[in-house]
Structure 1
Amino acid sequence: MKKIGFIDYFLDEWHANQYPEWIRKASGGQMAVSYAYGLKDADRGLSNRAWCEQQGVALLDSIEAVVEQSDLLVVLSPDHPEQHEALAQLPLQSGKPTYIDKTFAPDRKTAERLFERAERCATPLYSSSALRYAAEYAELKREGIETIASWGPGSYENYSIHQIEPIIALMGSDAARVMYTGTSRSPALLIGFADGRQASIHHFGWECPFQIAVKYESGSSVVVKPESDYFQLFIQDLIAFFETGKPSVPPSDTVAIITLIEYGLKAMETPYTWIELPKS
């Protein structure tokens, strides 16, 4: 059995609560979360020790100990990406397959540093929103997409990745500029690609489910709402990564996604003005 180590800002959070059982089932018991480390206890909820007792996981006293004793590594902290670089420093030097949870990094430069460190140390690395794996999105024809309009819930800071990730997966990573078109209560971002294609994201509150409209150069269009269990599809992809050491998401996609999120925040300061994105 392969032993997985969790490294988190604090362990009592939704992803850490769900992943252990999902991984165990998806791997047929061949992989299990065995060790964990949390930098701090949750402000509300279980302490790290109580979380480990509840999950049947050994709480270790350092990231170094988790890295040494684990075969595979997961850096969590999904709502605190500013913690990822520090939490991932030793994992990315280990040579052991490492998954870093969404949102991968707080900005483009950090994302690039994480991938550069992993490459120097021959550490397999990837990150993704689970929405990338929605079966309904995977079935869409990618060739000839002219425009995508996306809707979804949540705040821009934490949830924009769930709309941007599928857009980049479908349209490619050559986004060139962004424009903020939303309000303080309904964030919205227009994304311009180098060849003139466009995509937009819209946050309409928690009552709005994820969905996208896709317009093709042929003139046809389709509206898709992901209703498949995309989290389980993501977990299957994670298991495949742990088995092969080969990520399904190119680093260029992840860097492009983080760049869009970062520059979208900058675009909020000057709505209805194009902001050019840095070139690779």
Structure 2
Amino acid sequence: MKIGMIGLDTSHAPAFTELLNDPGHQYHVPGGKVIAAFPGGSPDFELSYSRVDTYANQLREHYGVTIVDSPEAVAKQCDAILLESVDGRVHVEQFKRIAPYCKPTFIDKPFAVSSADAEMILREAEKYRVPVMSCSALRYAEGFRGALDDEESGPVIGVDAYGPMELQPTQPGLFWYGIHTVEMLFAALGRGCRHVRAEANDDFDVVVGVWSDGRLGTVRGNRQGNRTFGALLHRNERTHFVDVYADEKPYYASLLEHIMTMFKTGEAPIHPEETLEIVRFIEAANESRNSGKTVRL
């Protein structure tokens, strides 16, 4: 399968390309190869424009990827697309340019930085019947998936997820790094969050989501102290500590395996409505962290 990439301003671009294009890699993901890429880059986002040239050169020189001048040029010559642009603001415009080519597409996190943009992407996907998938790689960390699959202690009754939560002005509030822990929340609890409340200061955020069945999920974001991700997964009979670093297999590789399955089958493993609810959850959390009030989704 010929795979195209849009957006070479994130470390995910060389990471995914290495896993796909290097058959000697310990965690090589077979079935496709990145052959073409559009660099992209956002001129008002330093973490975007400062990395584009380095990653573009790396893909061209190390993996033989052809660098092209537009998203359309990628879509024309590929069977599936990895939309990797680190700036969630540009995803809707980039996706609208490639949707008419009807190629299955993975959109890296954040899917969008507003529910209006998220809805627009999903409308375009439905219009052109494009299979779309979006998530954080932490959703597929082996330690986390193992804890979710272990149902001997009963159903999940709550989740407390934590991780680093740096802020970036161009990616409002939790959209930049908080999305990782929010993804873990939804992977465990599913859809159905009704309202959220957030407390935030310069160093920490805590967000509490209340689901329609009464379950609670919390997200703790740290800008001081350790930079590790993890969770407490509460079941009826025990609480499971989730160590996302317990397995040697990188979660990028586990995510990429699910992406490749979606590319081949045309069936996304995450319902679009869940992706939309995650965006709305983050919007509501951002609103609450500014107002101090409970916000309904």
TM-score by length of 2: 0.84
Amino acid at match of 1:247: A
Q: How many positions carry a matched residue from both structures?
A: 270
CA shift digits 1:214-272 (9 cap, x unpaired): 223x352221111232221111111111221111111111111111111111111122x
Amino acid at match of 2:221: H
Aligned equivalent of 1:3: 2
Aligned equivalent of 2:98: 91
d(CA) in 2 for partners of 1:119, 1:49: 31
Amino acid at match of 1:207: N
d(CA) in 2 for partners of 1:146, 1:126: 26
d(CA) in 1 for partners of 2:16, 2:134: 15
| 1:90 Cα deviation from its structure 2 partner | 2.4
Residue 187 of structure 1 aligns to a residue whose secondary structure is: strand
Aligned equivalent of 1:148: 159
Change in Cα spacing, 1:125 to 1:53, as seen in structure 2 (3 Å) is same
CA shift digits 1:150-196 (9 cap, x unpaired): 11113233111111112111111100001012322111211111121
Matched, 1:204 2:211: no
Contact 1:211 / 1:224 at 8 angstroms: preserved in 2? yes
Aligned equivalent of 1:270: 291
Contact 2:159 / 2:188 at 8 angstroms: preserved in 1? no
d(CA) in 1 for partners of 2:226, 2:108: 25
Aligned equivalent of 2:260: 239
d(CA) in 2 for partners of 1:225, 1:15: 22
Residue 224 of structure 1 aligns to a residue whose secondary structure is: strand
| 1:39 Cα deviation from its structure 2 partner | 2.7
Task: Tell me the C-alpha RMSD between the 2 structures.
Answer: 2.0
Contact 1:151 / 1:208 at 8 angstroms: preserved in 2? no
d(CA) in 1 for partners of 2:32, 2:85: 21
Residue 244 of structure 2 aligns to a residue whose secondary structure is: coil
Change in Cα spacing, 1:13 to 1:91, as seen in structure 2 (3 Å) is same
**Which one of 81, 102, 127 corresponds to residue 134 of structure 2?**
127
Contact 1:72 / 1:98 at 8 angstroms: preserved in 2? yes
d(CA) in 2 for partners of 1:118, 1:83: 16
Aligned counterparts, 1:187-266, within 5 A: 187-205=205-223, 207-216=226-235, 218-227=236-245, 228=247, 229-266=250-287
d(CA) in 2 for partners of 1:219, 1:69: 52
Amino acid at match of 1:59: I
TM-score by length of 1: 0.89
d(CA) in 1 for partners of 2:84, 2:41: 13
Change in Cα spacing, 1:49 to 1:105, as seen in structure 2 (3 Å) is closer
Amino acid at match of 1:71: D
Amino acid at match of 1:270: S
Matched, 1:43 2:43: no
Aligned equivalent of 1:76: 84
d(CA) in 1 for partners of 2:39, 2:255: 23
CA shift digits 1:38-78 (9 cap, x unpaired): 23485324527634532421111222211111111111113
d(CA) in 1 for partners of 2:122, 2:202: 33
Runs of 4+ in 1 over 6 A off after TM superposition: none
**Which one of 3, 13, 16 corresponds to residue 16 of structure 1?**
13
d(CA) in 2 for partners of 1:49, 1:185: 35
CA shift digits 1:85-143 (9 cap, x unpaired): 01111222221111111110111121121111111111111111111112222222465
Percentage of matched positions with identical amino acids: 25
Change in Cα spacing, 1:65 to 1:134, as seen in structure 2 (3 Å) is same
d(CA) in 2 for partners of 1:105, 1:40: 16
d(CA) in 1 for partners of 2:217, 2:80: 36
Q: Which runs of 5+ in 2 are unaligned?
A: 43-47, 167-173
Contact 1:131 / 1:230 at 8 angstroms: preserved in 2? yes
Change in Cα spacing, 1:102 to 1:45, as seen in structure 2 (3 Å) is closer
Q: Which runs of 5+ in 1 are unaligned?
A: none
